[in-house]
Amino acid sequence: ITETEVVLSKWLAGVVMFLALLAPFALYLPVLYHYGKYPFDLGPMLSLGIGLTTIGMMFVAIGLFFSSLTRNQILAAVGTFVVLFLLVLLTSLVYQDALDRRAARADAIRFGALLVQVHSFGSGQLDLRFLAMHLSVTVFMLFLTVKVLQFREGK
């Protein structure tokens, strides 16, 4: 078994677990419609589901990378948490600051702010640039993870 197979298997298992955690979201909607007779637009729900899936794929890849850097699970969890915290909260705060200052860089920062992206997905705007960014980061982190494992094995 190669390092690539191990990394892809662990990543796929993490993504399946993430999707299992999203399943109640998808199952709640028909129940809401059936019992509450509450009409909703399916487009924004599908957009949000696709967006959250690609974000989850990226998050799992980042976590897997930090897991490959150390044998200590606590250190891997803390490293993952710090990076994901910075990705989610700090980018949103920097974006809000740029908006308040009317800085020209606000649009560039908006592209990386995950909370803004989730809001965009939830309003039905499935921007393929965001999906491409999530998938690119995923592939890059998986590549780095394979390289870390190959380095540790001395290959």
Per run of 10 residues, the mean pLDDT along the chain (length 155 residues) is 93 96 84 78 87 96 95 93 91 81 77 86 89 96 96 82
What pLDDT score was predicted for residue 144? 97
What pLDDT score was predicted for residue 8? 96
Q: CA 145, CA 64: separation in Å to the nearest integer?
A: 7
What pLDDT score was predicted for residue 4? 93
What pLDDT score was predicted for residue 20? 95
- pTM for the predicted model, two decimal places: 0.87
User: Crossing angle of helices 3-36/128-153, nearest 10°?
Assistant: 150
Where on the phi/psi map is residue 37: left (φ > 0), alpha (ψ -120 to 50), or beta?
left
Instruction: Evaluate whether 57 touches 15 at the Cβ level (below 8 Å).
Output: yes
Q: Which residues contact 100 (CB under 8 A, 6 or more apart)?
A: none
What pLDDT score was predicted for residue 100? 81
Instruction: Evaluate whether 114 touches 55 at the Cβ level (below 8 Å).
Output: yes
**What is the Rg, in whole angstroms, of the alpha carbon atoms belonging to the chain?**
18
